[in-house]
Amino acid sequence: MLAAQHILQLKGLCVGLINETKLDRSEEKTIIRRVLHGDTAAYESLIAHYQPRVFATARKYARRESEVEDIVQEIFIKTFKKLDSYREEAPFEHWLMKISVRTCYDYLRKHQRNKVSSFSDIAQEDFDLLEVYGEDKHPTREKQEAINKLVHDLLERLQPAARMVITLLDIEGKSVKEIAKITGWSVSLVKVRAFRARKEMRKILEDFNQEKYL
């Protein structure tokens, strides 16, 4: 009985927290105008509302939590600085995501760690897991975690542009046009980069396979 009460209380608290950060478009516009008129404190509600989305995006490109936090912080500061250039015709979320992805790309370019030529940090068993991936419909938590780590390890070896394209196009399933809008690249450049990225990824996988049998 007591436990049930606690659960109900917690549930209420969670709903309260969710409602606190929920914003509709007109509220959002009002907040943006207030910020533009000098009420900096109003920006906090925008951060509270959008930070889960921005954190999820940043975690696709950075692994260490301290790095993720730095990226998110940079994104929100950049957004604040550029807020006067936001045109209200498009949703604020789209504009924010554009800034987020571009900031993540800048981060990847600054911290290129994909120059590693050896595959010593990738466990053979984990790679074998990938070779049979999909055959096991319900993998254990450990297996899934190992695969997640492997995916991150392999993606880290790609060039920044290649990683960006593979993440947006193949993993997130965005269209070429959408990617062009988000990144600011032309449609043909996205296509070229996608082709090169897939080729680069296949080469990495091939190299790993060759090293495996040496």
Partner 1 sequence: MHQRSTLILNKMKKNNDIFDRLIRAARRIPENDQTPYSFEKRIMAQLRDVKPVDNVAIWALGLWKAAVPCVAVMLLITTWATLSTTTDANASSDALASELQHTMTQPFQALEESW
Residue ranges binding partner 1 (CB under 8 A) = 40-41, 43-44, 47-48, 51-53, 55-56, 59, 69, 72-73, 76-77, 80-82, 84, 130-131, 133-134, 144, 147-148, 150-151, 154-155, 166, 170-171, 173, 198, 201-202, 205-206, 209
Work out how close the CB of 78 gets to partner 1 at its nearest, in angstroms, rounded to a whole number. Answer: 10
Work out how close the CB of 73 gets to partner 1 at its nearest, in angstroms, rounded to a whole number. Answer: 6
Give percent helix, percent strand, percent coil of the chain, each to the nearest 5: 75, 0, 25
**DSSP code, position 189:** H
Work out how close the CB of 132 gets to partner 1 at its nearest, in angstroms, rounded to a whole number. Answer: 8
CA dihedral 56, 57, 62, 67 (to 10 degrees): -70
Query: 3-class SS at 109?
Result: helix
Instruction: Please identify, using beta-carbon distances, which residue of 2 and 131 lies nearer to partner 1.
Output: 131
Instruction: Please identify, using beta-carbon distances, which residue of 52 and 184 lies nearer to partner 1.
Output: 52
- Taking the C-alpha atoms of residue 167 and residue 147, their distance in angstroms, rounded to an integer, is 16
Total residue length of the chain:
214
Instruction: Please identify, using beta-carbon distances, which residue of 124 and 186 lies nearer to partner 1.
Output: 124
